[in-house]
Structure 1
């Protein structure tokens, strides 16, 4: 609804007001009344409008109008004081998106050009060793390395050109527990304990189970790598009041410095000597494609990753 102007606008009944009565969006979004104050920067630029909307016709009183006026003034002053930072952040964000878009175009081509030869090499190695009992260790190492290259290509494409998930109804516990079980042997080998605290009767979620399991395992592996000596990882899952499933993975590892935590999850950003910086980026894309969020907190000792996924509509 475009009601941006340079003067305050008060519409107590949008169904009767000449500016809004013929707007289809009024009926689609059920806007019954509107109160808006323009946000004008010190250079005269119209930044936008701070508005209040009710779903039914409503007469805004003087006190409410004065409150909105004060709020708009506070917001205007804040933007004027910080507009340089806002503009810089926007430019950096646009640069990041442009870089990812350019890499994405390159990624799809590389995936095809590298993927096909890899399949040929894989088939050739299997053929060469099919009748031989010798050098089985060599065959296993080569096949594992080829598989790893294929996984990296897949991650590269997912990080830059994420595909839509093929969702099905899944019990949350059937998605979470197998992911944890697959990582437990790696944790045990490092002397790290993993405990689960799952709420009773976890809900049904509409997800592509293999993708969500990939995310959970990636987060768990990051926790394993962050713990330098014996430590612990805790997995918690519950239904929040807003009809989301929340999965929290907490560790007592070295944590993430405050100066870089905002960059964690950007494609190709990593603090590891050997990492690609794609794991968390892919994970965020997967969760976003499912209508959820993935947030990272690191305060003092340890890190907590919170995954939120919408619960399936119960009929």
Structure 2
């Protein structure tokens, strides 16, 4: 009697397990084919079918199985899972890639798009694309693509994000828009590269046509000094030779822009670089010019390194400091240097409370030979930005009547011991 009850209970359990398997197979949203050669059976489910088909085959006596899945990610998987999978891959792409739904709401934003627009990419998810681009809706090509219900192919964008945009649609079964994939290729760097190529050709001509005669003139001035009156010797030493050296220095700076020195990169902690290497150099300069220097450093960066040429970075920051000194109009000036871990980069802010840069010229301050100073060559900021770009970073400027901020962004890597 007890055996009969146990057998009946086991039969009920097996029937429940069988029903569980059958219901599970019915719920699978994608087609598949499962072959069990030892049982001599094949289970096949086609797209759109609710019940699978089961057929017999010749058993081969071996315990072999074969499973083929026919998964269409756009219809068979929640697209949010696909975006989660794609996000770290698209972060490696050096172009802007943004996914939006049919209403222009961002569902994916890669790091390049976030870094170039100056936002935290995680905070952009769920927001309208206008909050990322900070442009009116009528100027946003992705929204135009949605409005026209057509993809865009290699269209030139002429707003502040100068470049080429492409959009593609992923649709629901009813034809409505599930996602618009927008990829934007910035051409600003190409434009700057063309400028530098022209500068390089000019620099080569300058070096050949001017540098050699300057060296000759300087040599003869030194040679004739012994036969000239003291008054003329003084003129040569205090005016002529320094002016020749200054002209030669201008040529050297311009050549450095066209063909910069090789980056001798080493791993270093950026906070330590700011407080120790740069801080020591700025301390005496700040006392000399009555400038207060303040630091605000992100402690999270203490376990991150940048790969950089220390001497070249010092050249950049010293140039920014000297520019701030030359712009000083008040008796005292405050300079603040701060660092911040942001996405996968370090942002370094070099800010002063000077009079600011007029809006009419701020777009030209990185152009070679552009200067508002009577004695300036207009090469310092051009060279500084080139150095940062050689370190795979970017250099930007923001300015108002309250002061000027230069923002330098460099890639960082977590220290191995902190992993």
Name the TM tier (shorter chain).
Answer: 0.5 to 0.7
Superposed CA RMSD: 4.5
Q: Give 1:124 shift.
A: 7.7
Of the three residues 164, 167, 181, the one matched with 2:265 is 167
* 1:197 corresponds to 2:296: yes
Structure 1: unaligned runs, 5 residues or longer: 1-10, 15-28, 54-59, 73-89
Matched with 1:251 is 352
Distance 1:94 1:271 in 2: 26
Distance 2:360 2:287 in 1: 32
- Per the normalisation by structure 2, the TM-score is 0.49
* 1:178 corresponds to 2:277: yes
SS at match of 2:296: strand
Matched with 1:267 is 368
Q: Give 1:290 shift.
A: 0.4
Matched with 1:103 is 199
Distance 1:198 1:124 in 2: 53
The answer on whether the counterparts of 1:171 and 1:203 sit within 8 Å (CA) in structure 2 is: yes
- Answer with 1 or 2: which has the greater Rg: 2
Larger relative contact order (Cα-Cα within 8 Å, sequence gap ≥ 6): 1
Matched with 1:4 is none
Q: Give 1:285 shift.
A: 0.9
Matched with 2:120 is none
Q: Give 1:196 shift.
A: 2.8
* Residues 215 and 114 of structure 1, relative CA distance in 2, 3 Å threshold: same
Structure 2: unaligned runs, 5 residues or longer: 1-70, 75-88, 91-98, 103-141, 156-164
Distance 1:95 1:235 in 2: 32
Matched with 1:282 is 383
The answer on whether the counterparts of 2:266 and 2:307 sit within 8 Å (CA) in structure 1 is: yes
Distance 1:211 1:272 in 2: 24
SS at match of 1:220: helix
- Per the normalisation by structure 1, the TM-score is 0.63
For residues 4-37 of structure 1, the C-alpha deviation after alignment (integer angstroms, 9 at most, x for no partner) is xxxxxxx9559xxxxxxxxxxxxxx79xxxx999
The answer on whether the counterparts of 2:336 and 2:352 sit within 8 Å (CA) in structure 1 is: no
Matched with 2:251 is 153
SS at match of 2:321: helix
Matches within 5 A, 1:1-315: 12=72, 46=153, 47=155, 49-51=166-168, 61=172, 65-66=176-177, 68=179, 100-112=196-208, 114-115=210-211, 139=237, 145=243, 147-172=245-270, 173-174=272-273, 177-200=276-299, 201=302, 203-312=304-413, 314-315=415-416
Q: Give 1:247 shift.
A: 1.9
The answer on whether the counterparts of 1:255 and 1:298 sit within 8 Å (CA) in structure 2 is: yes
